[in-house]
Chains A and B, each alone.
Chain A
Amino acid sequence: MIELKDLTKAYGNYSAVQRLNLTIGKGEIFGFIGPNGAGKTTTIKMMGGVMAPTEGSVTIAGIDMQAQPQEAKRRIGFIPDRPFLYEKLTGLEFLRFTADIYGVSERRFPDKAAATLAMFSLTDWSNELIESYSHGMKQRLIMAAALLHEPQVLIVDEPMVGLDPLAIIMVKNLFRQLASQGVAIFMSTHTLKVAEDICDRIGILNRGRLIASGTTDDLRREANVSNADLEMVFLNLTGHSA
């Protein structure tokens, strides 16, 4: 469902992402972890089509992002790490805006919007301007908007930042449910516990390179730390000590 081939991003002489190769299948949840500045957000931006790679390609549901960006984007639900939105619209108006852009039908919109708002506990706030929302509420609204058009691929940068514990549990369950329906989820996170809990596979990015990839057990084997948690594995593989 997602294929990254030799994906590279260079800023002058500095390579933020170097020859990244990855394939994420239908219904798979892939966690992307790595230290600050490792290139996670850059990778996510290239996957979402908001940044052009220097080399390599991104394929979403068989569609090349560079050749047919609009078609590829239509299949993606993109959730960035910082919830910048149109502050002068209400939550419901923002959902309508997203629905119009992604071609959600007029007939289906009211029910879909009501259900998504309820799922993210935003029903009571739906007619208030986004400028009065908290960080967490904005993050929830972005998630609601990203799911409205029933994407085949979900690309999420730091999904749990700003969310309360209840919302974190809800999002974890939601991701599992979406994956069971065949949605491929690619998420970057610093919360290793979240990655450990819900991801089928985890990739570790360090200085722009994918240094390890696989299930938690695969990573433990690679790091030579049996029975250690992901935190220990991460520190070992990235060459840091606790």
Chain B
Amino acid sequence: MAHRLIHEVRLLLRPRTLPLLRRRRSRSARGGSGRLIVLGVVGMLFWGGLFGISWRVLRYFKGIEDIGDLLAYKLLSMILVVSFALLLFSGILTSLARLFLSRDLLLVHSLPVADHRIFIARWIDATADSSWMVIVFTLPVFLAYGLVFGAGTAYYAGTLLALLLLAVIASALSAVVVMIGVMIVPATRMRSVVFLMGVLLFVVLYLAIRLMRPEQLVDPEVFDSVLVYISSLQAPAAPFLPSTWASDSIQAALAGRMAASFFHLSLSASFAMLVFCLAVITAEAIYFKGFSRAQTAAATAVRRHGCIERIFRFLPGPVRAFTVKEIKTFLRDQTQWTQLFLIAALLVIYIYNFDVLPLEKSPIRTVYLQNVFAFLNMGLALFVLTAVAARFAFPAVSLEKEAFWLVKSSPLSIRNFLLIKFFIYYLPLLVLTETLIVGTNLLLKVTPFMMALSTVTVFFLVPGIVAMGIGLGAAYPDFKAENPAQTASSFGGLVFMITCAVYITVVILLQAGPVYRLFMADLHGKPLPAIVWFWVVAAFGVAFTLSILAVVLPLRFGEKRLSRMPL
């Protein structure tokens, strides 16, 4: 019986495991190893960075007498709570897709296999998919803990096991929640509900944390309240939370108390078994009913207002067609417009951060500092723009999905298609970035020179960044991606982020010297020598040329690649 179960589950998982092996083979055959190397190097850099930061922080904590270990343990417990929350959230979205929305489910459910076995196969798949990233990217933190605390081999084995058990618990709980949820809300709607709730939760949590002003913790004037805070660190964590068992187990292993560590691991393991059995029993009872319901999506009638058509009536036909289509699709796709909450929160937090900067406490002259911040702020705001563009402009071409044949077969050239996409995203992103720049400059009370410089610089850099998003998105499209976030995290997305980072850095570095000279001359009311003027003109000229090239080259590159791409 058990042998047959394992055999059937393995068979059901084969369509997922075989392509992984085959992809590896075909990629290397097609010369895609360069792509893998880039991804590997960036992954390693990120991993190494995480390790380095964790190492520094933990070494710092270790150096603090009395409360150092306490802080490290508190941090550990917080990391595990956050990881567990992430695993749960990702588990719910992945379970929903794997158990109810995947295209191959019709075929799978037509096979002569029991429901609970189909469930187990899909659940294993969902668990691997939803948890590998959380586990892989928390490992450097735990490695740093082990090294700083001088832990033995048992700590590393125990920690890995604790993380795996946490992933299993989160995934099984998610599956139960999803199976019950689908009986109440249709599966297609549930994804939107979960996503919206997740975004709102993130925004609220982030705003709450940010508005508590954690930077005050390093301000000596409020040290009394920090002492009060430290005493609260000693309060025990919630005893029935799986992340607490994982945290207790890892803490005990760090301190060399292996028996206690094993006890907490056993708690995790027994609960993982229990919740897995519960998920299988639930699946046997309601999984197929839920799947059956998920296939009967209600028709959605749309009210006819025609407002958007009226607003864009002045545009030429093809431009209007794509603009209206883009806006309507965006507004009707919950996974898209809910991201606006994130951007709004980002905007508020970004500007708020500048409002609370304690510039007056700095030993450096305020007027000087204000303008240095304003200059650096240009780069920062452009990096924010890059992140936003990676999420919206870069996937713009891929969002045509398999309906891209409509563009290819239409009398619209690929060049015009890309230009339309460019302008659709350029205007809102320009408004966003200029709002960030002007808002923060006003709060910093910068000189008129700096205000003019930063708004003009940003005005010239935004088109380049948006064009890189559209152009590289066209060069590396993924018409099969289920959501834009997936597209943004692809190889092309990485190329876009790196290119933008280089572009912004080069322009900022080009401007830094001349701007400093201009600013100081303006401050002291002294004229500039001719050679400095030449330097200023040359630097700004090169920056301006780069900005034009940043628009033209990526769009041409994207046009070339997209035109050649077979459907």
Q: Which of B301, B325, B405 contacts A84 (CB 8 A)?
A: B405
Given contacts A50-B567, A70-B411, A89-B328, could you give 16 more A-B pairs where the C-beta distance is less than 8 Å?
A50-B405, A52-B564, A69-B411, A70-B413, A73-B409, A82-B402, A84-B403, A85-B403, A87-B403, A92-B304, A100-B318, A100-B324, A129-B302, A129-B332, A131-B297, A132-B299
Q: A50 touching B409 by the CB < 8 A rule?
A: yes
Asked if A71 lies at the interface with its beta carbon under 8 angstroms from chain B, I say: yes
Asked if B75 lies at the interface with its beta carbon under 8 angstroms from chain A, I say: no
Asked if A32 lies at the interface with its beta carbon under 8 angstroms from chain B, I say: no
Nearest residue (CB) in B for A74 is B411
**B328 neighbours in A (Cβ, 8 Å):** 88-89, 93
Nearest residue (CB) in A for B316 is A100
Q: A100 touching B409 by the CB < 8 A rule?
A: no
Q: A80 touching B405 by the CB < 8 A rule?
A: yes
Q: A71 touching B329 by the CB < 8 A rule?
A: no
Asked if B556 lies at the interface with its beta carbon under 8 angstroms from chain A, I say: no
How many whole Å from A224's CB to the nearest CB in chain B?
Answer: 39
CA–CA, A67 to B328, complex, Å? 34
How many whole Å from B516's CB to the nearest CB in chain A?
Answer: 50
CA–CA, A137 to B566, complex, Å? 27
A:192-237 near B, CB below 8 Å: none
Asked if A128 lies at the interface with its beta carbon under 8 angstroms from chain B, I say: yes
Asked if A123 lies at the interface with its beta carbon under 8 angstroms from chain B, I say: no
Instruction: Known contacts A50-B408, A129-B300, A129-B302; decide if A69 and B333 are in contact (CB<8 Å).
Output: no
CA–CA, A98 to B317, complex, Å? 9
Nearest residue (CB) in B for A103 is B317
Instruction: Known contacts A50-B408, A89-B328, A102-B411; decide if A96 and B309 are in contact (CB<8 Å).
Output: yes
CA–CA, A93 to B327, complex, Å? 12
Q: A89 touching B411 by the CB < 8 A rule?
A: no
Asked if B293 lies at the interface with its beta carbon under 8 angstroms from chain A, I say: no
Nearest residue (CB) in B for A85 is B403
CA–CA, A70 to B321, complex, Å? 16
Q: A100 touching B317 by the CB < 8 A rule?
A: yes
Residue of A48, A84, A98 most packed against chain B (CB within 10 A): A84
Nearest residue (CB) in A for B323 is A100
Asked if A45 lies at the interface with its beta carbon under 8 angstroms from chain B, I say: yes
Q: A127 touching B411 by the CB < 8 A rule?
A: no
The A/B interface has a contact count, at CB < 8 Å, of: 97
Q: B318 touching A101 by the CB < 8 A rule?
A: yes
Instruction: Known contacts A103-B317, A129-B332; decide if A78 and B411 are in contact (CB<8 Å).
Output: no
Interfacial residues, chain B to chain A (CB-CB below 8 A):
297-304, 309, 317-318, 320-321, 324-325, 328-329, 332-333, 401-403, 405-406, 408-413, 563-564, 566-567
CA–CA, A97 to B329, complex, Å? 12
Asked if A56 lies at the interface with its beta carbon under 8 angstroms from chain B, I say: no
Nearest residue (CB) in B for A50 is B408
CA–CA, A70 to B413, complex, Å? 7
**A100 neighbours in B (Cβ, 8 Å):** 317-318, 320-321, 324
How many whole Å from A58's CB to the nearest CB in chain B?
Answer: 13
Q: Which of B401, B411, B563, B567 contacts A73 (CB 8 A)?
A: B411
Instruction: Known contacts A49-B409, A70-B413, A100-B318; decide if A86 and B302 are in contact (CB<8 Å).
Output: no
How many whole Å from B122's CB to the nearest CB in chain A?
Answer: 24
CA–CA, A48 to B297, complex, Å? 34
Q: B408 touching A49 by the CB < 8 A rule?
A: yes
25 examples of A-B residue contacts, CB within 8 angstroms: A50-B567, A52-B564, A73-B411, A78-B405, A84-B401, A85-B403, A85-B406, A86-B325, A87-B403, A88-B328, A88-B329, A88-B332, A89-B328, A89-B329, A93-B324, A93-B328, A96-B324, A100-B317, A100-B318, A101-B410, A102-B410, A128-B300, A128-B302, A129-B302, A132-B297
CA–CA, A128 to B402, complex, Å? 20
Asked if A118 lies at the interface with its beta carbon under 8 angstroms from chain B, I say: no
**A88 neighbours in B (Cβ, 8 Å):** 328-329, 332-333
CA–CA, A102 to B332, complex, Å? 25
Q: B302 touching A90 by the CB < 8 A rule?
A: yes
Give chain B's interface secondary structure class. Answer: helix
How many whole Å from A178's CB to the nearest CB in chain B?
Answer: 18
Q: A69 touching B317 by the CB < 8 A rule?
A: no
**A103 neighbours in B (Cβ, 8 Å):** 317
A:26-71 near B, CB below 8 Å: 45, 48-52, 69-71
Asked if A187 lies at the interface with its beta carbon under 8 angstroms from chain B, I say: no
CA–CA, A127 to B233, complex, Å? 58
Q: A51 touching B566 by the CB < 8 A rule?
A: yes
Those 8 A-B pairs whose CB atoms lie nearest each other, nearest first = A100-B321, A84-B402, A50-B408, A132-B299, A78-B409, A74-B411, A100-B317, A88-B332
Q: A51 touching B567 by the CB < 8 A rule?
A: yes
CA–CA, A73 to B402, complex, Å? 19
**B412 neighbours in A (Cβ, 8 Å):** 70, 101
Nearest residue (CB) in B for A68 is B411
Nearest residue (CB) in A for B403 is A84
**B410 neighbours in A (Cβ, 8 Å):** 73, 101-102
CA–CA, A76 to B405, complex, Å? 14
How many whole Å from B408's CB to the nearest CB in chain A?
Answer: 4
Instruction: Known contacts A84-B402, A97-B324; decide if A48 and B409 are in contact (CB<8 Å).
Output: yes
CA–CA, A101 to B405, complex, Å? 14
How many whole Å from B368's CB to the nearest CB in chain A?
Answer: 52
Instruction: Known contacts A88-B329, A128-B299, A128-B301; decide if A97 and B321 are in contact (CB<8 Å).
Output: yes
How many whole Å from A65's CB to the nearest CB in chain B?
Answer: 11
A:7-30 near B, CB below 8 Å: none
Nearest residue (CB) in B for A145 is B406
How many whole Å from A48's CB to the nearest CB in chain B?
Answer: 5
**B303 neighbours in A (Cβ, 8 Å):** 127
CA–CA, A84 to B406, complex, Å? 9
Q: Which of A78, A82, A97 contacts B325 (CB 8 A)?
A: A97
**A90 neighbours in B (Cβ, 8 Å):** 302
CA–CA, A93 to B303, complex, Å? 12
CA–CA, A8 to B79, complex, Å? 59
Q: B329 touching A45 by the CB < 8 A rule?
A: no
CA–CA, A76 to B566, complex, Å? 19
Q: Which of B301, B403, B567 contacts A45 (CB 8 A)?
A: B567
CA–CA, A103 to B408, complex, Å? 16
Nearest residue (CB) in B for A84 is B402
How many whole Å from A77's CB to the nearest CB in chain B?
Answer: 9
How many whole Å from A186's CB to the nearest CB in chain B?
Answer: 14
Nearest residue (CB) in B for A48 is B409
CA–CA, A131 to B333, complex, Å? 12
How many whole Å from B335's CB to the nearest CB in chain A?
Answer: 11
How many whole Å from A108's CB to the nearest CB in chain B?
Answer: 13
**B309 neighbours in A (Cβ, 8 Å):** 96
**A127 neighbours in B (Cβ, 8 Å):** 301-304
Q: B329 touching A86 by the CB < 8 A rule?
A: yes
How many whole Å from B422's CB to the nearest CB in chain A?
Answer: 18
CA–CA, A103 to B410, complex, Å? 11
Nearest residue (CB) in A for B410 is A101
**A71 neighbours in B (Cβ, 8 Å):** 411
